[in-house]
């Protein structure tokens, strides 16, 4: 039987991260003249973390690591997820079974599952198929192949992208800030955006100082870097990068570039 799940219902658990913060200790190492033991023994400084976030010099954030467990997401989202290379991934095998039990699990939008249309079979007959029925036909074909002894590594070539994946994700706080800026945006695909926001909420709860202001690019920059590709729901609410630059260029009192940058000629 088809094990069917719908997008938007994926689970995310925070396995590790938060608690003791190491970003402020890491930052002290590049500035302090004190002995190592003194630096390590220093009390936690929220202000140092805030200074790092506001300055944009975020290398010290790489010393705080977060591990998430996820399930209920499709291979579509897995493919987009692993494009973030500054991360660690361990993903459940598509061939794993326990005691001969195997689930053919799919995750897709409900309107895709319910969408029905006519399809023509090789013998010329036309039948009406919903997305759910198409997925179940694939499951039947897959199970029949297994029963006939075909190698699963070959059968899975025809598994749908809707196939569920489970896995563990590890990212440091610097990589997470970068990932949230892209995947929390309204232009991100709906399922990975759902994953990103669930991860962000967990991070904010576990380490609020580290993720103060984290979110889509516009939340951090004060403008939308998408320009002409800005999401229609954001138009009129958030200036684009070009609009923000035009506002600066058209100020009544403009600071000479040389003075602003401290150049002497």
Active-site residues, by number, are 183
Both tokens of 222, joined, read: 């004060």
The C-alpha atoms of residue 42 and residue 56 are separated, in whole angstroms, by 23
Cα separation values, 50 from 46, 57, 91, 105, 209, Å = 6, 11, 34, 43, 7
Alpha carbon 114 to its chain centroid, in Å, reads 27
The C-alpha atoms of residue 118 and residue 59 are separated, in whole angstroms, by 55
Cα separation values, 156 from 75, 108, 141, 142, 161, Å = 12, 18, 11, 8, 11
The C-alpha atoms of residue 156 and residue 219 are separated, in whole angstroms, by 41
Query: With contact defined as beta carbons under 8 Å apart, do 135 and 2 qualify?
Result: yes
Burial environment of residue 25 by CB neighbours within 10 A (0 to 12, 13 to 18, 19 or more): buried
Which run of H or E residues covers position 14?
strand 11-16
């Amino acid at each position: 039987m088809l094990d069917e799940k719908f997008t938007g219902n994926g689970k995310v658990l925070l396995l590790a991260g938060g608690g003791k913060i190491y970003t402020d200790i890491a930052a002290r190492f590049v500035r302090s003249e004190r002995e190592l033991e003194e630096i390590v023994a220093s009390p936690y400084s929220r202000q140092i973390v805030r200074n790092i976030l506001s300055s944009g010099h975020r290398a010290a954030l790489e010393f705080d690591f977060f591990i998430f467990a996820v399930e209920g997401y499709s291979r579509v989202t897995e493919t987009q997820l692993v494009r973030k290379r500054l991360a660690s991934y361990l993903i459940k095998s598509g061939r794993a079974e326990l005691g001969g039990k195997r689930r053919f699990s799919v995750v897709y939008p409900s309107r895709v599952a319910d969408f029905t249309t006519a399809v023509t079979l090789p013998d010329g007959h036309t039948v009406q198929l919903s997305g759910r029925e198409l997925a179940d036909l694939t499951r039947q074909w897959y199970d029949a192949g297994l029963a006939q002894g075909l190698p699963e590594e070959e059968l899975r070539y025809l598994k749908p992208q809707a196939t569920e994946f489970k896995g563990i994700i590890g990212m440091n706080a610097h990589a997470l800030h970068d990932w949230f800026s892209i995947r929390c945006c309204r232009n991100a695909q709906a399922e990975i955006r759902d994953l990103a926001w669930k991860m962000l909420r967990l991070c904010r709860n576990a380490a609020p100082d580290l993720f103060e202001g984290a979110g889509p690019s516009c939340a951090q920059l004060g403008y939308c870097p998408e320009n002409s590709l800005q999401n229609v729901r954001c138009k009129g609410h958030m200036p684009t990068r070009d609009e923000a630059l035009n506002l600066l260029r058209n100020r009544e009192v403009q600071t000479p570039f040389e003075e602003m940058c401290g150049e002497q000629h």
